[in-house]
Amino acid sequence: MINNIPIDYYIWLSATLFTIGVMGVLYRRNAIIIFMCIELMLNAVNLLMVAFSSYLNDASGQVFVFFIMAVAAAEVAVGLAILVLMYRNTKTIDINVLNRLKW
Amino acid sequence: MVGIDFLVSFVPLFPLLGFIFIALNTRRFTEGFTSFVACGSVLASFIVSVVLFIHLAGLTADERSIHITLFNWISAGNFSASISFLIDPLSSLMLLIITGVGFLIHVYSIGYMHDDDGYNRFFSYLNLFVFFMLMLVMGANYLVMFIGWEGVGLCSYLLIGFWFKNQDYNDAANKAFIMNRIGDLGMLLGIILIFMNFGSIEYLQVFPQTSSIDTSIITLITVLLFIGAMGKSAQIPLYTWLPDAMAGPTPVSALIHAATMVTAGVYMVARNNLLYSLAPVAMELIVIVGLATALFAATIALTQNDIKKVLAYSTVSQLGLMFVALGLGSFTGGIFHMATHAFFKALLFLGAGSVIHALHHEQDIRNMGGLKKYLPVTYLTFLIGVLAISGLPPFAGFFSKDEILAAAFASNKIVWAVALLASMLTAFYMFRLFFLTFLGTTRASQNTLDHVHESPQSITLPLIVLAVLSAIGGFMGIPEALGGSHWLGDFLAPVFAQSKGHVEAHALTHSTEYMLMGGVVVLTLIIIVYAYSRYVSKNHVPVEEGQITSPLQRTLYNKYYVDEIYDSIVVKPLYWLSQQFYSVVEKSGIDRLVNSSGRGLESGSKFARLIQTGRVGYYIFVMVVGIALLLGYASLT
């Protein structure tokens, strides 16, 4: 059933999702939203991997997806912790306020 | 003969252990214990050497050689070097001299260095020296010899600068070390050439191949090796370090700078007698250099007033005579004179040390005189030493010097005349030294005389033993003309057997030899009488430096200004050159390059750091653009 959908569709969907993620990272100033956009990019890639895995009858793509999900979960834990600390210190999560990382 | 082979490696082992043991405990050991260990280790080596010597002497001429390999040391490509020892009559004789005289000087040092702050350090250096000297003469290949060669140079440096708080002594040590380094470079090049042409550095593999090698290469090798000998054995032009080396304690002057180390060059040439006998040009060079040195140093010694300086120049002169013998192909004569010289020169130095010790570090003979009644033992033994070096029968120097003069007479009359002149001068300045020190009126201050005392037994005993050796040492080589059989010549024969064929043998008739001996003895006696009348009867005392009027005497007193000449043509230009290197290459070259590269980075980064704005959004933007560019580039190619 799922094989009836051509691979092109998946590619377009993933590319769209990924571009939305990139744009979100670039345009938004809210750190949590940037974070979510990064997740969006990761999942766009995951989707593409699963699609190719099924298309090529090769399970290793799906294995990679599991790895990525596990790593992403860990990354979220660390990232959110950083955000919490950031909020506690600056009372904001606007990334433009964090401009002291220079010279 | 497993037992004998086994013994060989013990000879250098004892002094090495002694050195390590003392050096690790310099702050802990008492003087008594240190002297026990140091003297004991050398005595043990001496005993083993005697056993080896007796064993060798008992064998027939062809069998007199023990070759043992301890282990393979370096192996790279077709080069291999092992730590191996060769005991043959030549090295066996050297072993006896080094450990025997070395032991006596160790004993002497107990008294001489008593209460010195560096007592333990001194003995550790002395043991180390004996070890390296043994390596030098025992090595069965050029590399082991070179290790010893460099090692004794190091010990010489350490011991000349033993009282390192005096900057003059340090300068003397540096001078000795640097002069030796010049010679050692020649030596090293010679060894490299040997390896390139012979494919090996083992004596036993090099010597059989000599006939197949081109003469010009052998000449080059032997001249390079001789340059090494010039440095170590203080020949012109590299001799100036030896008189300065008298800055070291007197036992050091006796052991290193008279009896053993400086004869390393003689040993080396004798060891390579086969190579040298195939290179007549090198042999001539040796004769010329040796002769020039013998005469040159003897004339300088005439005017020196420091008791040790006179002996130092005398050593240089005697070494010159040994090289004359070697260069004339009389290898036995050279080695014979080296052996007797080791006895009487060690004796003279130790006697001088005894005088210096008794007079509380007074070394100027103008402040001595009439010491005969204060130092009877030193007086008698010193007299024997002076008689021996002057070549009066039956003392040791007579036989060895006679052999050299006979060889010179047989091959070249001019060489003979100059050598004779040098040895006559030797007799004169040695008796001048002796008369000014021990006879005549006392010129020392009353304060000094009140404290003069004969040296302790540890000093006088070695003097007596060496005096006996100086008196009878010549009997090991009585020439046939005097009804002897030249035992030493027979013993050493296998070492020099192969070169015999290449060197023209000169035989003198017995009547000629008698004439030579008689003439030399009579001349020597005349000179002694002259010296006696000048320095004892007329009580002539050398004047102060400022009062010397004759230009010749002033030139001699100032040692022909050789030090000054070297200073102006070598040392000063080198300093100038290094100053130029410092100011041009270092300061305006390297320093400027380093500083300007640092400064360039600094000013560049002043602008580059502005890229880092601190805005997270900007960073992300740059990152995305960068990745996009990379991906675009990757998809293009």
Q: Is the pLDDT of residue B350 over 70?
A: yes
Q: Tens digit of pLDDT for each residue in B83-124?
A: 999 998 999 999 999 999 999 999 999 988 888 888 999 999
Residue B120: inside a domain: yes
Residue-number span of the structural domain to which B593 is assigned: 563-636
CB nearest to A26's CB, from B613, B614, B620: B620
Residue B556: inside a domain: no
Q: Report the share of chain B in percent with pLDDT over 90.
A: 50
Q: Are residues B118 and B3 in the same domain?
A: yes
Q: Are residues B526 and B395 in the same domain?
A: yes
Q: Tens digit of pLDDT for each residue in B473-509?
A: 888 888 877 766 778 888 888 888 877 767 666 677 8
A2 min Cα distance to partner chain B (Å): 30
* Contacts with A35 from chain B: Cβ below 8 Å: none
Mean pLDDT of A27-31: 88
Which residue, B543, B578, B597, sits at the end of a domain? B543
The residue of A35, A94, A102 whose CB has the most chain B CBs within 10 angstroms, and thus the best one to mutate to test that interface, is: A102
* Contacts with B617 from chain A: Cβ below 8 Å: 26, 29, 95-96
Nearest one of B100, B125, B129, B97 to B113, comparing CA atoms:
B125
Residue B300: inside a domain: yes
For chain A, the first-to-last Cα distance in angstroms comes to 57
Q: How far is CA B270 from CA A100, B29, B103, B284, B429, in A?
A: 83, 41, 24, 15, 29
3-state class percentages of chain B: helix first, strand second, coil last, to nearest 5: 80, 5, 20
Domain count, chain B: 3
Cβ separation B613–A99 shorter than 8 A: yes
Nearest one of B182, B405, B396 to B294, comparing CA atoms:
B405
B599 min Cα distance to partner chain A (Å): 18
Domain count, chain A: 1
pLDDT band at B614 (very low <50, low <70, confident <90, very high): confident
Q: What's the predicted TM-score (pTM) here? A: 0.80
Q: Are residues B480 and B588 in the same domain?
A: no
Cβ separation A26–B621 shorter than 8 A: yes
Q: Are residues B538 and B573 in the same domain?
A: no
Q: Are residues B625 and B482 in the same domain?
A: no
Q: What string of H, E and C letters represents the secondary structure of B298-343?
A: HHHHCCCCEHHHHHHHHHHHHHHHHHHHHHCCCHHHHHHHHHHHHH
Q: Which helix (H) or strand (E) is B80 found in, with range?
A: strand B79-87
Residue A16: inside a domain: yes
Residue A24: inside a domain: yes
pLDDT at B430: 93
pLDDT at B563: 86
ipTM: 0.82
Q: Are residues B482 and B614 in the same domain?
A: no
Two structure tokens written together for A42: 């990761």
Q: Are residues B389 and B502 in the same domain?
A: yes
Q: Are residues B251 and B354 in the same domain?
A: no
Which residue, B493, B512, B543, sits at the end of a domain? B543
Cβ separation B612–A96 shorter than 8 A: no
Q: Are residues B443 and B571 in the same domain?
A: no
Residue-number span of the structural domain to which A16 is assigned: 2-90
Q: Which helix (H) or strand (E) is B85 found in, with range?
A: strand B79-87
Chain B CB within 8 Å of residue A22 CB:
yes
Which residue, B543, B573, B602, sits at the end of a domain? B543
Q: Is the pLDDT of residue B572 over 60?
A: yes
Q: Are residues B443 and B509 in the same domain?
A: yes
CATH number at residue A20: 1.10.287.3510
pLDDT band at B61 (very low <50, low <70, confident <90, very high): confident
Least confident interval from A73-77, B512-516, B589-593: B512-516
CB nearest to B615's CB, from A25, A96, A103: A96
For residue B569, count CB atoms less than 10 angstroms from its CB and return exposed for 0-12, middle for 13-18, buried for 19 or more: exposed
Q: Are residues B253 and B320 in the same domain?
A: no
Residue B70: inside a domain: yes
Cβ separation B616–A98 shorter than 8 A: yes
Q: B626 or B554: whose pLDDT is higher?
A: B626
Q: Which helix (H) or strand (E) is B416 found in, with range?
A: helix B413-438
Mean pLDDT of A22-46: 91
Q: Are residues B454 and B525 in the same domain?
A: yes
Residue A96: inside a domain: no
Residue B555: inside a domain: no
Residue B95: inside a domain: yes
Residue B270: inside a domain: no
